[in-house]
Chain A
């Protein structure tokens, strides 16, 4: 049977050289997106590279079914925030343009442009263009300028743009990459890596047909999917991501006051139904997604108007009760401001929450903060400090280093109040509410991310680059994930995978990712742990139930989870597993770090 080839566009920003690289063999083993990104990092970035140096890469990863099941772009680089493997997902319409451009293994940027530039990709026409007129511009203004500039007629209307804001330009370690106003590859500082390469934006437009092997089969699967799945569609389409917030507050799984409380009355101010009634504009979908979970809102009533916003669970948690902002009315303004500056909403909210607690406890003063009264829930103060962070002014210069470095730079502030794991802020989750959530947070090889994003099942979605929000209803429609994925891959690529092949793909992508982090200095038993607060301080739910983590149970469950991931009890892949997965090339490096892997 015919099988398709996978083509990577590699751009050396230093020399301006562009070439197409055949990555078919790697794609067969690691799929694309997150799994392939880890492999590319392993192959092409030397151990111990400074993430903000020109030796780091920025890989815009797509995969075999990008655009058929949502359109995810997974961005990979060494993370400036954690110094470990970094990756972040962004949905929207960017990935599918790369597919239609003929780059079904993604785009790899290496080196550093010698002046502010943007990358222009229209099918085979790839250019590194001057971007001094965009440099310094905030989101979404920079995207609007570029869209207007690129638009010649309707055929060019659909350039998709990923850009960084001022935060990325100033190499703020938790800067994000933004696409289409509310899609962000925000986590782990991918925006800072893009900024360090002097790249302000990437504009893509593709018009070539994707070479799917069996379009009939794909079409059949898609029809079945679009017609049968209703649940996810109804809920998310109506309220968007923030619908999960009240449930999480009531289950004590959402952080409040930098994780000091289990309940506060301001939680009830975040009511998705009221937000819908008062401010919803419409529902918006990514490519070939019938859910449409992006629900932008517009505030018209003063004082925080006019503002357009889109509230996702991640920023809903971070910019809400965790910093004591009173509900969605105020939050719509704040989360948009973060996006305008190009910061990672979730991570920077953890930095601000940490500073707020230190201010509250009198450890840092108004003078230390450059005259800002950083009291809980003070919107004006938060906006001031965010601007300082994004432009690295005054105290903002230190806070821009993220929670891995900032606590050492600001001596007066106590490190123990920084809710972080591996340097990434824990904001939107309260681990004490659920042991499995707590373990799910720590076992992720790339640092704290959203709950469960470290599991092989999630990693495989990010590698297929299918939207993981669509994964829950899949078993209902298709029986199991494998029953859906194998025919999808057959239709798209012509591969006939056995059950075992599929299991190996899942395992390989997740272990590859872990190997990169271990190579960069992560030791799972030492680093996969939560701050002491979660084990020592009891919080109470609205109804008075006490919640605290039991360290022993936590460690037991962590061990069990490692074993479930195909690792040993210490979170390290065994030699035999690596051999079975054709990954022996990692053995010398890992054994040098960790000793024998028997």
Chain B
């Protein structure tokens, strides 16, 4: 809504992925605005100066949409461990990443504004930002550990195991 004025979840800069652990669980995936040395996307960009880079005035990552080579390049996507940059050809064939919904110097992430359960916060970094850069698959694997010893495809111990014998 904020960027394009439409309701279209595929254009959202914060993306939700859902897994069966086997209990279903959703995980969000959004740019963590890494520090300079850890910015794999910027390092991977073949254009000079990089199309995807940190704007030190606005304090967030930006993408120069005009110069971006689009999905056929996608080097930034491949470089990012969490696979954050997304492309939506043909209308938006450039990397799309979180810009903290910044407008005229004011940063008001709309996902935080709308989140009805206060699951999202906009706050100062608590630890090196790139540590939040976790691929959703990996987040799901971590969360699945909470469900140990259930494997991902079983919801319970079977009655046969529970009571013994062939039920």
B10: chain A residues within 8 A (beta carbon): 100, 207, 209
Q: Give chain B interface residues in 70-84, CB to chain A under 8 Å.
A: 83
Nearest chain-A residue to B1 (Cβ)? Answer: A219
- By the criterion CB–CB under 8 Å, are A284 and B159 in contact? no
Given known A-B contacts A226-B114, A226-B116, A340-B155, A140 and B18 have beta carbons under 8 A apart: no
A-facing residues in B31-68 (Cβ within 8 Å): none
Q: Point out the residues of chain A lying under 8 angstroms from B155, CB to CB.
A: 139-140, 181, 307-309, 336, 339-340
Is A114's CB within 8 Å of the partner chain B? Answer: no
Given contacts A100-B9, A157-B17, contact A298 B147 (CB under 8 A): yes
- Evaluate contact between A305 and B24: CB separation under 8 angstroms: no
Complex Cα distance A549/B13, Å? Answer: 57
For A469, the chain B residues whose CB sits under 8 A away are none
Is A407 part of the contact surface with B, judged by Cβ < 8 Å? no
Question: A154–B17 contact, CB under 8 A?
Answer: yes
**Does B104 have its Cβ within 8 Å of any Cβ on chain A?**
no
CB distance from A336 to the nearest CB of B (A): 5
**Contacting residues, chain B, for A145 (C-beta < 8 A):** 153
Report A133-174 residues with CB < 8 Å from chain B CB.
139-141, 143-145, 147, 153-154, 157-158, 160
Asked if A210 and B8 sit within 8 Å, CB to CB, the answer is: yes
Q: Is A233 an interface residue (CB 8 A)?
A: yes
CB atoms of A181 and B24 under 8 A apart: yes
Cβ-defined partner of A157 (8 Å) among B25, B117, B136, B157: B136
Pick from B5, B16, B157, B167: contact of A306, CB under 8 Å: B157
- Bound: A506/B22 CA distance, A: 39
In the complex, the chain A residue whose C-beta lies closest to that of B149 is A306
B154 interface contact, C-beta 8 A: yes
- Chain A, Cβ-Cβ closest to B167: A384
A237 contacts partner chain B, Cβ-Cβ < 8 Å = yes
Check if A387 is an interface residue, CB within 8 A of chain B: yes
Q: Which residues of B contact A181 (CB under 8 A)?
A: 20, 22-24, 155
Measured CB to CB, the closest approach of chain B to A317, in angstroms, equals 21
Given known contacts A157-B136, A212-B7, is B163 in contact with A144 (CB within 8 Å)? no
Decide: B162 and A304 in contact? CB cutoff 8 A. Answer: yes
A336 close to B167 (CB less than 8 A)? no
Q: How far is the CA of A284 from the CA of B5 in the complex (A)?
A: 28
Residue among A215, A233, A283, A303 facing the most chain B CB atoms (10 A cut-off): A215
Contact A284 B149 (CB under 8 A): no
Say whether B162 contacts A306, CB under 8 Å: no
> Smallest Cβ distance from A406 to chain B, in angstroms?
22
List residues of chain B with CB within 8 A of the CB of A182: 23-24
Residue B3, interface by CB 8 Å:
no
**A141 and B23 contacting across the interface, CB-CB below 8 Å:** no
B129 within 8 A of A: no
**Interface residue A1 (Cβ < 8 Å from any Cβ of B):** no
Instruction: Assess A216 versus B5: contact at CB under 8 Å? Given A209-B10, A387-B167.
Output: yes
A290 within 8 A of B: yes
Determine if A337 and B156 form an interchain contact, defined as CB atoms under 8 angstroms apart.
yes
Find A333's partner among B1, B17, B156 (CB 8 Å cutoff).
B156
Kindly list chain A residues whose C-beta atoms are within 8 Å of the C-beta of B150: 298, 306, 308
- Does B132 interact with chain A (Cβ within 8 Å)? no
Decide if B6 is an interface residue (CB 8 Å cutoff).
yes
Cα A290 to Cα B26 in complex, Å, equals 14
Give the distance to chain A from B86, nearest Cβ to Cβ, in Å.
Answer: 8
Check A308 against B23 for contact (C-beta < 8 Å).
yes
Contact of A144 among B7, B18, B22, B29 (CB under 8 A): B22
- Check A573 for interface membership: any CB of B closer than 8 A: no
A293 to nearest B CB, angstroms? 12
A307:B157 contact, CB within 8 angstroms: yes
Assembly CA distance A342 to B159 (angstroms): 15
Interface residues of A in 210-245 (CB under 8 A from B): 210, 212, 215-216, 218-219, 223, 226-227, 233, 237
A68 to B159, CA, bound (A): 40
Contacts of A233 in B (CB 8 A): 116-117
Q: How far is the CA of A292 from the CA of B10 in the complex (A)?
A: 22
- In the A-B complex, list the 3 residue pairs whose CB atoms are closest, starting with the nearest: A290-B116, A209-B8, A307-B156
- Apart from A141-B153, A143-B20, A308-B23, what are 4 other A-B pairs with CB-CB below 8 Å? A158-B18, A180-B20, A281-B146, A298-B23
Which residues does A use to contact B, with CB under 8 Å?
Answer: 68, 93, 100, 139-141, 143-145, 147, 153-154, 157-158, 160, 180-182, 207, 209-210, 212, 215-216, 218-219, 223, 226-227, 233, 237, 281-285, 290, 292, 296, 298, 303-310, 333, 336-337, 339-340, 380, 383-384, 387
Q: Can you list 12 A-B pairs, Cβ within 8 angstroms, ordered by A?
A: A100-B9, A154-B29, A157-B18, A157-B136, A181-B24, A215-B1, A283-B117, A290-B117, A307-B155, A308-B155, A333-B162, A387-B167
